[in-house]
Amino acid sequence: MTSKPLATLDTSLIPRLPQSYVTLFEAKKNKKLSFEDIAKHVGREEVIIAAIFYGQAMASPEDIQKLSELLEIPQDVLESQLSGYPDRGRTMDMPPKEPLIYRLYEIVQNYGYAYKAVLNEKFGDGIMSAISFSTKVEKETDDKGDWAVITLRGKWLPYSRF
């Protein structure tokens, strides 16, 4: 658990999000829970829990049950609100204007061809899946300060021969 302020929902994003997510963020704020706290309770990674809150990932029935317990939102309410398939990508305008997210975009812009060349030489012709995929965020600290480490791990999919 962290002593930093908690992430809350920017209210200007609300029109882009299914209304149920407002409820999730409200409960998180009232309960003073970090995504790390919630992730531990649900048994999933912090990033995917945050993605569920932003309408970018699907909660399983078990996830809904655990979120219901922890956030004290009636389970049938949450079930009704979270059961649909997410319409991913709608919260974000590209290119991103938020400096933190832009830095990730810039990494793709600058190193995109380098990643492609290295991945092709290691794996052949194909892609790294963003679906059969997981990601996590870690914090490292050394004498120069804090470092954020983001790991992207995706299944390699070779192009089918046809």
Rounded to whole angstroms, how far apart are CA atoms 34 and 75?
21
Nearest to 60 by CA among 87, 86, 83, 36: 83
Could you say which of 88, 106, 132, 153 is catalytic?
106
5 binds a second copy (CB under 8 A): yes
Site string for a second copy, 40-59 (x = CB under 8 A): ----xxxxx-xx-xxxxxx-
Site string for a second copy, 9-38 (x = CB under 8 A): xxxxx-xxxxxx-------------xxx--
Active site residue 129: yes
Active site residue 103: yes
Rounded to whole angstroms, how far apart are CA atoms 52 and 46?
10
Write out the two tokens for 65. Answer: 């049950």
Q: Are 68 and 78 in contact (CB under 8 A)?
A: yes
157 binds a second copy (CB under 8 A): yes
Could you say which of 60, 80, 83, 129 is catalytic?
129
Active site residue 3: no
Write out the two tokens for 107. Answer: 């990494």
77 binds a second copy (CB under 8 A): no
Residues with active-site annotation: 103, 106, 129
